[in-house]
Structure 1
Amino acid sequence: MPPSTYLTPRLADLSVSERPQERLESLGAQSLSDTELIAMILRSGSKGRNVLSVASEILRAGGSLNGLLNWSDAEFRNIKGIGKVKALQLLTIIEICRRVRDRSPSKEPILDSPDLVFQHMQTHSDSLQVEKFWTLSLNRKNRLLRRTEVSSGTASNSLVHPREVFREAIRQGASAVICVHNHPSGDPAPSAADIKVTRQLRESAKIIGIDLLDHVICGSQQHDPRQQGYYSFQEAGLL
């Protein structure tokens, strides 16, 4: 393709010091910008656009690398130059980053109050358009062993069964669990269904022998009449 019809300079037309791979080889990964790191994953651009331009658009649309952690396959493919294979490559890298972050010992908090649970879950529940339900498996000191997404529902509800809630807790040898789900509306007040499922989980916990410490509903402070942003069944005396 003649240079005059190329919308952005080809990597071959850039100086060696501006090419991500050469910079990586000579200076190390820590020297690369966020855009260059994404470019190294993509490896190539699209018709009329070099890989740095495509990577820059992804980062601009996501706002930051952290902003990309909740992106879906469809959101990546909305970027011109990102097809099925590249979208799956990006999703794979993001999932690796999530797992490293979630399993890092330094990131395992002690969750012994509903406000700490809410703070811990905010990054996972904020801005979600559907309900999700998580099990937080804890050791005897209430330190988090594992956070497991049990279900992802529609914009109005998330179906959950006790066996799914406690399965990972049993596998982890947990002493206790805290259940968490979000309300996309932002109002954390429990519905009749929330109360019913909490009662079911309470009875199942007694049979299994794993303490159900709390069920926390995450919302937002601006939509919560109490301005807490969350609802705790334990605080409400319903556990």
Structure 2
Amino acid sequence: MSIADWPESERPREKLLRHGASSLNDSELLAIFLRTGVKGTNAVDLSRQLLQEFGSLSALLGAPLPQFKTRPGLGEAKYAQLMACAELAKRALSEDMRLGDLLTSPAQVKDYLRLSIGRRDVETFVVIFLTAQNRLIEVEEVFHGTLTETRVYPREIVRRALQRNAAAVMVAHNHPSGVCEPSSADRVLTDMLKRALDLVDIRLLDHFVVTGGQTKSFAERGWL
């Protein structure tokens, strides 16, 4: 059945306008983005199928173009629109992060990290430089590695923190494997980095391990 034949209160666009975007589920929001379905499948049903096939909304947002295009009704134009939506969300989160104390808004930091590096297919190490009031100075991707590892040099992070006159840092890296649990190597690196930063009176506030669907915090586990 076409969405136009649905009761008006159940149509995604009308529902959003009446009750707000938060009242819609993932498939309804995606249907508004897609606008149209394909032959025999309306936009909401197509959205449900896509979310089931990709596994999650974050997986769909992180899909490479060749994988995205294998589905009928999806092409380069829709891929470009979807990537633009994801980038807008990331930039909006970045703007919000600049306005407040990041220690009081860890969920915001986690969302930003999931959007920015969670779906990368190589390890990426990110440093978030902060003022003494825990305000954002800059987010920088400082190291990139292979599928399974990246080489992180504490002295390089210390040097960059001093250049920015940072009073504190948070660090993060992704696990391309999709397994979000910190490894023993992650813990060793964190200890090394904390000791190096302590020597120049810069606080290491957290280390996040990130995948497309999860973010694990060292600070929340009491490891810092």
Q: By the TM > 0.5 criterion, same fold?
A: yes
Q: Tell me, yes or no, if the aligned pair for 1:45 and 1:81 is still in contact at 8 Å.
A: yes
1:149-228 superposed matches below 5 A = 149-158=141-150, 162=156, 166=160, 170=164, 174-182=166-174, 186-189=182-185, 213-214=203-204
User: What is the Cα-based RMSD across aligned positions, in Å?
Assistant: 4.9
The answer as to whether partners of 1:54 and 1:80 remain within 8 angstroms in 2 is no
Partner residue, 2:124: 132
SS of alignment partner, residue 185 of structure 2: coil
Residue aligned with 1:189, SS: helix
For 1:33 and 1:135, locate their aligned partners in 2 and report how far apart those are by CA, in whole Å: 33
Rounded to whole Å, the distance in 1 between the matches of 2:142 and 2:185 is: 21
Larger Rg: 1
CA gap of 1:15–1:184, structure 2 versus 1, over 3 A, is closer
Partners of 1:144 and 1:217 in 2: how far apart? 16
- Pairwise mapping of residues 10-49 of structure 1 onto structure 2 (< 5 A)? 10-49=2-41
Task: Say whether residues 1:87 and 2:79 are aligned partners.
Answer: yes
Q: Distance in 2 between matches of 1:110 and 1:180?
A: 15
1:46 positional shift: 2.2
TM-score w.r.t. length of structure 2:
0.59
TM-score by length of 1: 0.56
Distance 1:188 1:126 in 2: 20
Could you report, residue by residue, the CA deviation over 1:193-221 in whole angstroms, capped at 9, with x for unpaired residues? x79x96xxx69xx9xxx86544977669x
Shift in alpha-carbon separation, 1:70–1:132, aligned structure 2, 3 A = farther
What is the alpha-carbon distance in structure 1 between the residues aligned to residue 202 and residue 60 of structure 2? Answer: 29
Residue ranges of structure 2 left out of the alignment (5+ in a row): 211-215
Distance 1:132 1:23, change over 3 A: same
Q: Percent identity?
A: 29
- Structure scoring higher RCO (CA < 8 A, sep ≥ 6) equals 2
